[in-house]
Structure 1
Amino acid sequence: MNLTKIYFVLILFSGFFSFGFQSQDKKPLIDVIAEIETKFDVKFSYSVTDVDQVFVEAFKDSESLQFIIDKLNASTNLNFKLLNERYITISTIEKTISLCGVLIDNLEQLPLLGASVVINNRSKGVITDIEGRFQLSNIPINETIEIRFLGFKSLTFKASELRSLDGFCKTIIMEEESQALNKILISKFLTIGLQKRIDGSTVLNTAKFGVLPGLTDPDVLQSIQALPGVESVNESIANINVRGGTNDQNLILWDGIKMYHSGHFFGLISAYNPYLTNQVVVTKNGTPSEFSDGVSSTINMSTKNKINNTFSGGFGANLMHADVFLEIPISKKMALHVSGRRSFTDVFNSPTYDNYFERSFQDSELTTNSDNISEGNRSSDFFFYDYTAKLLFDLNENHQFRANVIGINNNLDYTETYTDDDDNVNSKTSNLQQDNIGFGGSWNATWNERFTTEASVFYSNYNVDATDNRIETNQQLTQANEVLETGFKLNTKFKINAYLHFLNGYQFSEIGILNETTVSAPSYEKTKKDVLLNHALFSEIEFNKNNTYLRVGVRGNYFQKFNKLVIEPRLNFRQKLSEQIAFKLQGEFKNQSANQIIDFQDDFLGVENRRWILANENDIPISESKQVSLGFEFNKNNWLMDVEGFYKQVDGITASNQGFYNNFQFVNATGNYTAKGAEFLINKTANKYSTWLSYTYSQNNYKFQSFSPSVFPNNVDIRHSVSLAVNYNVLKQLELSIGGMWRSGQPYTKPVEGNETVRDGNDVLVNYSDPNSSNLDDFIRLDASVNYTFRVTETVHCALRAGVFNVLGKQNVINRYYEVNPEDSNTAIQIDNKSLDLTPNLSLRFNF
């Protein structure tokens, strides 16, 4: 028998067997229809072309007619409808079905909370609950469903594959991304959208973010203050204190661009639009070696990075600003993401704006100028805006290119009108403008299954400029602070095996800082500009297998100007001791060369009193930190208990960097601070609610050898801090959040009793007692929010949110200092800065 005959016989056999198996498992629908008509004495009405070439399972004799019809509806794309006991119609009209499923991970078989289940090419979707379950109704049977979850491979299904039958839901196993050793440990941490990674960092997913007390929008930098050890002693997101550090000690990155400005309204509102900011990773210790700067923390923001083939977006407004964001597909390989936000505070003053204005400018020239200028002769216009754009291009599945731009702006005009001795009306306008613009680009390349690279560049330019026209002295003061930084980074990642990854990289940055002051009368000008170049090599190895996670790295920083090398080891270790208990140990060395100095007197109309300066290794050293923390974690039945102790020392701080209101206010000195304490968190989550209680104890002291006393409490030495909150889904679409915080009052310095002032030449100064030896009253605040979501059309969703900060209207003092009494130079007057008053807000958003 030749080859041709053999081949022909094989085809016959294969056809025979395939036909035999097919006929055994399935039968032509037209034959099944005939059998049903005979058995149940019914008649079908249909078009032969609709049922031709359709195969179905044969029915069993024990099955009822209704059960058979239901099964046919579930297993075919046809619609079987019983008109009466005798007649049944068959049509091809597209029908809708109900879907459900349960998501679990592939390693520990645990449910995945917070995964996105969306209908392809539509904005409709849901998020899995605490049991990993999801449900969708009225879904076209031929629709495609996509399931996405951070750190896991996305899955797609036909809607018919997920159909809910007799209450049964398909179990879906999601596979972790092979490169994601640092997996999500807790998928619902405090609230929906907050997750905790195995390395201890916290991930904020803004697209899924639940409502937090007081907020009407998922404010990026307000939200992270829900974490233990993260707070703002003066309620400002421009002054976030992480484990006792100052705000300038936080490294803030937006798509790899280093940002030097974080807040609108000079600190009360986050300057980063949350609706294209896909995730925010907050790291307090054990930082990956690819990051430096920020001796207190790293806040790494990333925007959406996936090209979708459908146009989508959203817009909304609250009582201070309106915003819009769009995801625009250009082709299958290219897309553009844009966002914009602008306040309308220069044309409309809402009660929310009035409270924010009073809080922001209470200690500035806008409110403290001479009584010779009446309140009616002062006016101010304030507005802010921000914008972002991102171009996404996928050359192919192995090479992705991204380009970004971000712009942030605050603008204040302050006008004073007065009448001179000749009855002439004059007016002078002062201006303060603050902006940060950044550009960035990246190329991600996958060379093979084991080796990937990422090359990125960025440019960041921060400016604050002020023109202060002083009526009383007929003097014009102009001030400027500019930061310009460019950088390049190359990361190489090699996957040794499924459990072990190796990272190496190089980073270069050049930073220049300009400070300028000019005075018109008498004529005076001072300009100072510094430039610093830094080269860095970093390497780390990451291991995650069974119950052990380990990341060990080192970074070497070379400062070319000083010929100085700074070595920074990093450690992040977690060992699971049992199914419920884990031990964790973290440590790091970090440095930063750019810091802020504070002038509470004359800088920038008294509104923005912080200037960026650069280390010179003389009177301004490079700041260096050492930190270690260890703790235990208990996780069972949706209860989480976390206890962590920490010790941190930061060397190379300057007195001008701290903003003292004491006898050291104008003294130049270098020193350090040491923060040590413990953080405790207990969190319970369920389908309808989440509640948490956190407590932080911290002891934070300065040490300046040239001062007397040399050791005294830090300005942000908050010994006790407690936060309590609950989120509750009253209805499926109605969510309520209420929470409060209490913390001990921050330190301040009193004048010497009975000898409140002292003369120094021709000047009279406040005579302060021991620095930070007194404390303000305890800070107490209660906030609440409510969120109602509803569907306007099939593709348009709406969210209505209301929030109230400081529900009790408590007048908390957040800062206290003293000035010489202008009417009696032998006494000092006390000046208190107050917290935000009872402040409501309302927002309305549409997503499509």
Structure 2
Amino acid sequence: MNKKLLCSVFFIFTIAFCNLTHSQAQQEKQPLAQILLKLEEKYNVKFSYEPKTTDGILISPLYPELSLKQVITQLQLLTQLNFEILSKRFIVITPNKTKDSQNSIQHLEEVVVTNFLTKGISKTNNGTIEADKKAFEILPGLIEPDVLQIIQNLPGIISVDERISNINVRGGTNDQNLILHEGIRMYQSGHFFGLISAYNPYLSESITISKNGTSAKFGNAVSSTISIKNSDELEKTSNAGIGANLLSVDGFAKIKLTHKTELQLAARRSFTDILVSKTYDVYFDRIFRDSELNTASNSQLALDERFLFYDFNAKFLYDIDNTSKLRLNFLNIYNDLDYNQVYITSDNNIQETNSQLNQVSFGASANYSKRVNQKLHFSTELYYSNYDLDAKNNNISNNQSLEQENKVEDYGLRIDITNAVNPSLNVNLGYQFNEVGVTNLEDVTNPNFISLKKEIIRTHAFFGEVERYSKSKNTHLRLGARISYFGKLKELIIEPRFAFNQKLSDYFRLEILGELKSQTITQVIDLQQDFLGIEKRRWQLANDSNIPLIKSQQISAGLSYNQNNLLISLEGYYKNVANITAQSQGFQNQFQFVNDIGSYTVKGIDFLINKRINDFSTWLSYTFSENDYHFENLNNGNAFSNTIDLQHVANASLTYSKTNFKVGFGINWHSGRPYTTPSNLQDNLNNSIEYNQPNSSRLPSYFRTDVSAIYNFKLSKGIKADIGASIWNIFNQTNIINRYYSLNSDDSIIEINNRSLKLTPNLSFRVSF
């Protein structure tokens, strides 16, 4: 199917469903959170509440002729919640104390911007951004609530090569992000070797992103913190859903066992090992085009590949009594590739090359929480995380086999105590212990060589925070610090953090955030051909010789204006990350085989303007930044551009959301990445390439347009369905996302260009009941 036909089919689908009636759906009960979002737009007010306050509450849409005061009265009767009007614009929702004794602890975190970009994304007074899957509607190019794709629409967050496994937050590398799934630290984030999020989007209900001013509870990552959670409240009834797209099938279930227990299950499996779709072809071409496996020549007789992925997630909820809860979590992620090539040799013999690549993650956690009294809350959490990457390459023609393995084992304990001193002041104290072990194996035959290295670091950390509101509720401040002792390194680090939010008027807010952070584990690249050139990065721990403890410092200040569904936000930031190694930066120039210790510094501005008009939401985001390396022994000690430096990044999008129909259209543009050119493309000296100044050239600009649409309808009583369609890169734009140079068999220089995804269609169908 050519791209013009695909575009035509998509827009016919859009127009056909845009005019369908939805009066029946309007009469059905809807989640209270969705009702509140619509009321905020209609009456120009903002409801402030804990997300779990509205969990499980369904009501019918209210009559449009009601005044705001009548709406509040009716909501109080229907929900049994307390609605307190603080001003003409702000309304606080709290549980009825006689109905819910669990909320004794005062949570000072408050949403200050709702519908940040689109419905379901909010910003809080401590600088974090939260995405609620229940309220989330649509983003361009997405037909499923993929949490790691959603966050890339936020200013300052992008993947320079379109891969989930390479998310860059304000110039940081992906391994510098702390990704937590139900408290489990994850070392693998993608399926299809980075193109699809590894976290099932239909059980994951919320995601919290912190780019700066991170809570002192979190450590061991110098860039961002991304926390993914499933629903934590018992459902009143069981529910389930199944679905499929052009790559995989999936299902989930929330099973009410007793009035105190619930089991949540979700599973997903690709069918790419059985049936090949257009989407699979595009993804496969993107990942393997420039890898070691793509060495087709005239001597190749046959090629056979088998690829599959799956994930499984389970959560057990047990409300022991009115004051204590137990939560158990389990997660398994799996990628498998078998790749066989058959050749005819120069002497007319047939030879076969077999390659295998497995990527597996396993995680488990247990959390127990207890309300000791009306002010004191206690919780403890245990977790275990295991990541294993294996590659095997049997080259019969050279009578050689190569086996590589990178394994991470991480387990830990965290204890939290929170005291609500008064309604405006919270104090949090805690302790965290974790042990991380990393094993690297390399086994080669002909010549025989084996290398096995294992390193372990144990960390003890104490953390504390004070969070308070002013009496006027206009000022919010969180001050905290984390004190960590790294056993093997014999190093003690104190990391202060703060988040300050000041309401200047009903429409203006000032935000200032800052933090110091450290990190013991990083990803390095020994050779670009490692792990078949597909997942060439391997995890490695800091030591007292060539890989030091990474340290960062960051400060940012922002001003936002929010009135009449218009949001304008401007934020400037400065970020410095020290003690990085050249090996961790993936150089493909004169520094590819050189190691040194240095730093990078990022200075930037994030700008966002978002306007909502009835059922339409449109936004423009823009980031300007400069990201420079500083290595004492590289480039004569002079600064040079970071390999992932994108100086200009812009996104313009438009979404339309009605009760049962949603459509999104978006344009993504950014300036090109830096790369290094050879000084002479024709000649090379001593079988090596002579290069110009590092990262002194730029690739052409990147441009991509995406579109998506979702239609919800009712199959029968109690059974709902939705159909989704999307096209990524609808104009099939050729984008070069990386360029480097190599020598071919006759020692002449060749230019290699890594290209982005081509036009990528996808379809989905889901049923929930």
Q: TM exceeds 0.5?
A: yes
| Matching residue's letter, 2:414 | K
Task: Specify every segment of 5 or more residues in structure 2 that has no aligned partner in the other structure, as ranges.
Answer: 1-23, 76-82, 84-91, 95-102
1:830 to 712, 734, 751: 751
CA contact (8 A) 2:682 2:749 kept: no
Match of 1:357 among 284, 293, 300: 284
For residue 729 of structure 2, the aligned residue among 802, 806, 812 is 806
Number of the residue aligned with 2:738 = 815
Structure 1 residues 311 and 622: CA distance shift in structure 2, 3 A: same
Of the candidates 560, 582, 593, which is equivalent to residue 487 of structure 2? 560
TM alignment of 1:384-395, pairs within 5 A:
384-395=309-320
Q: Which residue of 2 aligns with 1:139?
A: none
CA pair 157-634 structure 1, distance change in 2 beyond 3 A: closer
State whether structure 2 residue 760 is matched by structure 1 residue 845.
no
**Quick one: distance in 2 between partners of 1:97 and 1:259?**
39
8 Å Cα contact 1:459-1:484 kept in structure 2: yes
> 2:37·2:119 contact (CA, 8 Å) conserved in 1?
no
**Corresponding position: 1:796 with 2:719:** yes
Give the Cα–Cα distance (whole angstroms) in 2 for the partners of residues 159 and 127 of structure 1: 8
Deviation at 1:297, TM superposition (A): 0.2
**Selected match of 1:713 from 641, 644, 669:** 641
**2-side partners of 1:818 and 1:129: how far apart?**
52
Which residue type is aligned with residue 841 of structure 1? N
- From 31, 51, 69, give the equivalent of 1:116: 31
> In the aligned structure 1, how far is the partner of 2:283 from the partner of 2:26?
47
Q: CA distance change for structure 1 residues 828 and 419 in 2, over 3 Å: closer, same or farther?
A: closer
Q: Give the equivalent residue in structure 1 for 2:653.
A: 725
Tell me the residue number matched to 2:696: 773
| Stretch of structure 1 that moved more, 174-183 or 489-498 | 174-183
Match of 1:728, as an amino acid? Y
The amino acid across from 1:721 in the alignment is: V
Match of 2:667 in 1: 740
Contact 1:148 1:154 in 2 (8 A): no
**What is the aligned-residue RMSD (CA, Å)?**
2.3
Equivalent residue number for residue 13 of structure 1: none
Name the counterpart of 1:674: 601
Verify the 8 A CA contact 1:191 1:209 in the aligned structure 2: yes
Q: Is 2:175 the partner of 1:175? A: no
- Provide the residue aligned with 2:78 in structure 1: none
* CA–CA separation in structure 1 for the residues paired with 2:228 and 2:419: 24
For residues 247 and 57 of structure 2, what CA distance do their matches in structure 1 show? 42
Structure 2 residue 157 is matched with structure 1 residue 230: yes
The whole-number CA distance in structure 2 between the counterparts of 1:831 and 1:645 is: 36
- Is the 8 Å Cα contact of residues 738 and 753 (structure 2) preserved in structure 1? yes
Larger Rg: 1
The verdict on how the C-alpha distance between 1:534 and 1:424 changes in structure 2, with shifts beyond 3 A counting, is same
Task: Answer yes or no: is the 8 Å Cα contact 1:506–1:535 preserved in 2.
Answer: yes
- Structure 1 residue 398 corresponds to structure 2 residue 306: no
Distance 2:533 2:25 in 1: 62
Please tell me whether the aligned partners of residues 432 and 464 of structure 1 are also in contact (alpha carbons under 8 angstroms). Answer: yes
Which stretch of the first structure deviates more once superposed, 594-603 or 420-429?
A: 420-429
**C-alpha displacement of 1:167:** 6.0
Could you say which residue in structure 2 is the equivalent of 1:452? 377
Distance 2:62 2:577 in 1: 58
1:415-564 superposed matches below 5 A: 415-419=340-344, 425-545=350-470, 546-564=473-491
Instruction: Give, in whole Å, the separation in 1 of the partners of 2:440 and 2:744.
Output: 32
Give me the whole-angstrom Cα distance separating, in 1, the residues matched to 2:155 and 2:389. Answer: 32
Q: Provide, for residues 532-591 of structure 1, a one-character-per-residue CA deviation record: whole Å limited to 9, x for no partner.
A: 000000001011231101000000010111221011000100111111111111100001
Secondary structure of the residue aligned to 1:331 is: coil
- What TM-score results when the alignment is normalised by the length of structure 1? 0.81
2:53 corresponding residue in structure 1: 153
Q: 1:636 aligns with which of 533, 548, 563?
A: 563
Code of the residue aligned with 1:416 in structure 2: it is Q
Structure with larger RCO (C-alpha < 8 A, sep 6+): 2
SS for the counterpart of 2:144 is coil
Describe the shift of the 1:164–1:839 C-alpha distance in structure 2 as closer, same or farther (beyond 3 A): closer
* 2:191 aligned residue (256, 264, 273): 264
2:265 to 332, 338, 347: 338
Q: 2:55–2:233: 8 Å Cα contact kept in structure 1? A: no
Distance 1:158 1:314, change over 3 A: closer
Q: Which residue pairs with 2:7 in the alignment?
A: none
List alignment gaps of at least 5 residues for structure 1: 1-95, 102-114, 119-125, 135-146
Give TM-score, length-normalised by structure 2. Answer: 0.89
The answer as to whether partners of 1:100 and 1:164 remain within 8 angstroms in 2 is no
Cα pair 2:264 2:314 within 8 Å, conserved? yes
1:782 shift after superposition: 0.5
What displacement does 1:131 show? 2.0
Alpha-carbon shift at residue 133 of structure 1 (Å): 8.5
d(CA) in 1 for partners of 2:357, 2:593? 25
Taking a change above 3 Å as real, the CA distance of residues 526 and 98 of structure 1, as seen in their structure-2 partners, is: closer
Task: Quote the Cα distance in structure 2 between the aligned partners of 1:843 and 1:543.
Answer: 46
CA distance in 2, matches of 1:779, 1:373: 36
Name the amino acid aligned to 2:427.
F
1:616–1:817 distance in 2 versus 1, CA, 3 Å: same
C-alpha change, 1:372 and 1:600, in structure 2 (3 Å) is farther
**In 2 relative to 1, CA 421–586 (structure 1 residues): closer, same or farther, beyond 3 Å?**
closer
Q: Aligned residue for 1:381?
A: 306
For the residues of structure 1 that align with 2:556 and 2:698, how far apart are their CA atoms? 28
Q: 1:260 to 1:637 in 2, by over 3 A?
A: same
TM superposition shift of 1:470 = 1.8
What is the percent sequence identity of the aligned residues?
41
Mapped to 1, the partners of 2:643 and 2:492 lie a distance apart of 31
Q: CA deviation at 1:184?
A: 1.3
Equivalent AA in structure 2 for residue 771 of structure 1: P
Query: Bigger CA drift: 684-693 or 487-496?
Result: 684-693
Change (3 A) 1:816 1:494: same
Q: CA deviation at 1:99?
A: 7.6
Aligned with 1:207: secondary structure?
coil
Tell me how many residue pairs correspond in the alignment: 711
Q: 2:173 aligns with which of 246, 261, 267?
A: 246
Aligned residue number for residue 130 of structure 1: 38
**How much does 1:755 deviate?**
6.7
CA shift for structure 1 position 598: 1.9
| Cα distance in structure 1, aligned partners of 2:62 and 2:511 | 43
Q: CA deviation at 1:839?
A: 0.6
Query: Cα offset for 1:704?
Result: 0.4
C-alpha separation between the residues in 1 aligned to 2:644 and 2:346? 48
1:618 Cα shift? 1.3
The residue number in structure 2 matching 1:29 is none
CA–CA distance in structure 2, aligned partners of residues 219 and 653 of structure 1: 30
CA distance in 1, matches of 2:219, 2:380: 17
Separation in 1, partners of 2:161, 2:416: 38
Q: Residues 683, 606 of structure 1: CA spacing in aligned structure 2 closer, same or farther, 3 A cutoff?
A: same
Letter in 1 for 2:768: N
Distance 1:599 1:156 in 2: 51
Indicate which of 238, 243, 253 corresponds to 1:326.
253
2:626 aligned with 1:699? yes
How far, CA to CA, are the matches of 2:660 and 2:556 in structure 1?
40
Question: Matched residue of 2:219: which SS?
Answer: coil
Q: 1:547 to 1:771 in 2, by over 3 A?
A: same
Structure 1 residues 99 and 847: CA distance shift in structure 2, 3 A: closer
- Is 1:408 the counterpart of 2:333 in the alignment? yes
| Aligned CA distance change for structure 1 residues 165 and 387 (closer, same or farther; 3 Å) | closer
1:684 aligns with 2:637: no
Distance 1:506 1:401 in 2: 19
Q: Of 223, 232, 236, which residue of structure 2 is paired with 1:305?
A: 232
Q: Aligned partners of 2:737 and 2:538: how far apart in 1?
A: 21
How far off its partner does 1:709 sit? 3.5
Instruction: Provide closer, same or farther for how the CA distance between residues 133 and 512 of structure 1 changes in structure 2, counting only shifts above 3 A.
Output: same
Residues 660, 420 of structure 1: alpha-carbon distance in 2 compared, 3 angstrom cutoff: closer
- The 5 Å alignment of 1:272-311 reads 272-311=199-238
More displaced, 646-655 or 196-205?
196-205
